[in-house]
Structure 1
Amino acid sequence: MSNDPPLQLKPRLTVSVDQAQAIMARVAPHATVRDVIELQGGEISTILEIVLTDAPNCILKIYPTQLQWKMAKEVHVLGLLARVDIPVPRILLADDTRAAIDLNFVLMTKLDGMVLGHREPALTDQELSAIYAEMGAAMRRINDVTLDSFGYIGPNGVWTPHPTNRAYMSAQFDRKLDEFCIRGGDDALAERLRGSVAARRHLLDAAETPRLCHYDFHAGNVLVTAEGKPRLTGIVDFENATAGDPLMDIAKALYYFTAKDAPKRDGLLAGHGTRDRPDWEATIALYRLACTLELWCWMAQIGRPDALPALTAELESAT
C-alpha cells in the first residue's frame, strides 16, 4: 500500500484587486479591476473571475503546486482548437514566473452563458436531448483534431507516445492495475480485471487515428444560454485532454448517467454519431472500466477512501 500523502488540489489563496490589476495591466493596460470573485467548479484548479469596469470580464485559473505543468498543457490544447468551430476560451496570458502570485496561472477570456448543470433541473426531456445533441456535435469537432500518436497529453504534446490505440490503452490498463494494487486494491480482483481486459483487447483496434479527446465532457464544463431555449455557448477545462479514441471521450461523458438520463444519453450519441462504429457499445463498456479504474486510483490518491467501496463494487461487476 502506498504511503504517499494525499494530493493537494484547488489552491487556497486570495488574489487581491491590486494583484489582479497588475496581471491585467500586462494585457490590457487601461482596464480597471473592480472585484475578484471565486467561481464554483474546477476540481483541480482555483477559478477566479476578474470583474472589470470598462472591459469584458476575464477568468484567472490557478494551478496547484503538484500539478503546475497543467498550465502549459491547457495552453497547448487550446492552441490545437484555435481554428475549430467551437466556443472555447482564448488564452490572454500564461505565467509560470510566480512573480505576480506564487503559482502558475493562465488569464483567459470569459465565455458567455451559464453552467449547463445549473440549468438542467428546469429543462424538459426534449430540451435536454437537443442540448446534448449539440454537445455531441461539438465533441465530434474536437475529436476531428488529429495528433501524431496515441497517449496522454502533457505540457508540449503527447507525453508517452504510442503507435496504436491498443498499445496505449494496454499500457494504461497495466499501469492503473499496478497502481490499484499499490494503493491497497485487491490483488485477486486486479488479476480478474487483467483477464477481462485481455479478452476484449481486440475492440481497441478499431480506432486507427489518434484524435483529440476532451475526456471530462460533462454539464459542469459546458456553458449554455441563460434563458430561453438552451444553446451551447462554451466548452471549458481541457486539463484531462488525451490523444485517443473518440469512444473513450463518449464513455467518460456517459460515466455518471443513470436510467433517468436517457434523453441526455440519446442526444449525445446522436449528435456525435457514435452508433456508426461497429461494436460501439462493447467498446464503450471497456472504456467505462478504464474510467472506473482511473477514478478508483484518483480517489485513493487524493485521500477519499469513502468513495472506494462503490467503485470496487463496479470493478467487481466488470469481471
Structure 2
Amino acid sequence: MPSDAPLQLKPRLKVSVDQAQSIVRQIFPHASVNGVTELHGGEISTVIEIALADAATCILKVYPESLQWKMAKEVYVLGLLRNLGPAIPKILLADDTRSAIELNYVLMTKLEGVVLGRREATLSETELFAIYAGMGATLRRINDVTLDSFGYIGPKGVWTAHPSNQAYMSAQFDRKLREFFTRGGDPALAARLRDSVTARQHLFEAAITPRLCHYDFHAGNVLVTSQGAPRLTGIVDFENATSGDPLMDIAKALYYFTPKDAPKRDGLLAGCGQMGRPDWQETLDLYRLYCTLELWCWMAQIGKREALADLTSELANGV
C-alpha cells in the first residue's frame, strides 16, 4: 500500500472583502465590493463569487498550491475558445504574483444561469433530451478546435506531445497501469487490462487530427436558465482539457450515466452528430475503460480509497 500522503486540493482560505476589493480594482478602479461568497462544486479549485455595487458580478478562481500551473492552463484554453461565444467565461485578470492572496488566481466574468445538475430532477425526459442535445452540439464546437499534437494540455499548450492518438493513448494506459500497480491495484488485473488494451489499441488509430477536448463535460460544469424550459447558458471548468480524440471527450461525458439516463445519453449523442467511424461504440467502450482506470488512480491519489472496490469491479468487467 502506498505511504505517500493524499494530494491536497481545494485551498482552505477565506478571501476578505478587502482582498477582493484589491483584486477587482485592478480591472474596475472604482468598483465597490458588496459581498464575497464561496460557491460549491469542484474538487480542485476554490471558486468565489464577488458581487460588486457598480459593476457586473465576477468569479474568482483560486488554485491549490500543488496545482498552481493550472491557472496558466485555464487562461490558455479559454483563449483557444474566445470565438465560441457567450457560453465561455472571459478572463479579466490572471495573477501569479501572490500579492493580493497567497495563491495563483484568475478573475473572470460570471455567466448567467444555474448549474444544470440542480435542475435535472425537475425536468421531463423531453427537456433532458433537448438540453443534452444542446450540450452535444456545444461539445462538437469545442472539439472543432485543432492543435498541433496529441497530449495533455499544460500552461502553454500541449505538455506531453505525441505524434498520433495511438501513441498518446498507449502511453497514457501504460502510465496509468503503472500507477494502478504502485498505488496498490491488483497485479493480475493490471496484466489483464494491459492485454485487453493491446488487443484493441488499433481503435485509437482512427483519430487523425488532435482536437481540443473539455474532458470533464457534465451537469456540474454546465449552466442553464434558472426557470422555464432549460436553455444552455454556459460551460465552465476547463482544468482537465486535453488534445485528443473527440470520442474520448464523449466517453467521459457519458461516464456517469446509468440506464435511467437514456434521454440524456441519446440527447448528447444526437447533438454531437455523426461520428464518422464504423467502430465508434467499441472505441467509446475502450475510452470508458481508460476513464475508469484514471478515476481509480485519482481516488487513490486523493485518499478516497473507499471508492476503489467498485472501480476495481468496473475495471474487471471492462476487459
Question: Per the shorter chain, which TM-score range?
Answer: over 0.9
Whole-angstrom CA distance in 2 between matches of 1:267 and 1:114: 20
Report deviation, 1:297: 0.3
Give the equivalent residue in structure 1 for 2:199. Answer: 199
Structure 2 gaps, min length 5: none
* TM-score normalised per structure 1: 0.99
Query: Which runs of at least 4 in structure 1 moved beyond 6 Å after TM superposition?
Result: none
Report deviation, 1:86: 5.7
Whole-angstrom CA distance in 2 between matches of 1:262 and 1:72: 37
- Secondary structure of the equivalent of 2:119? helix
Within a 5 Å distance, the mapping from 1:162-201 to structure 2 comes to 162-201=162-201
Within a 5 Å distance, the mapping from 1:14-33 to structure 2 comes to 14-33=14-33
Counterpart check, 1:270 vs 2:292: no
Q: Which letter maps to 1:254?
A: L
Report deviation, 1:41: 0.8
Within a 5 Å distance, the mapping from 1:1-319 to structure 2 comes to 1-85=1-85, 87-319=87-319
Whole-angstrom CA distance in 2 between matches of 1:85 and 1:53: 26
Report deviation, 1:275: 4.2
RMSD, aligned CA: 0.8
Q: How many percent identity over aligned positions?
A: 73
- Secondary structure of the equivalent of 1:233? strand
Whole-angstrom CA distance in 1 between matches of 2:133 and 2:206: 24
Contact kept, 8 Å, 1:150 with 1:165, in 2: the verdict is yes
Report deviation, 1:153: 0.3
- Secondary structure of the equivalent of 1:209? coil
Q: Which letter maps to 1:99?
A: S
Whole-angstrom CA distance in 2 between matches of 1:293 and 1:184: 13
Report deviation, 1:42: 1.6
Whole-angstrom CA distance in 1 between matches of 2:271 and 2:277: 14
Report deviation, 1:67: 0.4
Q: Which letter maps to 2:202?
A: H
Residue by residue, what CA displacement relative to the aligned partner does 1:172-204 show, whole Å, maximum 9, x if unpaired? 000000000000001111000000001110100
Tell me the number of residue pairs that the alignment of Structure 1 and Structure 2 aligns: 319
- Secondary structure of the equivalent of 2:269? helix
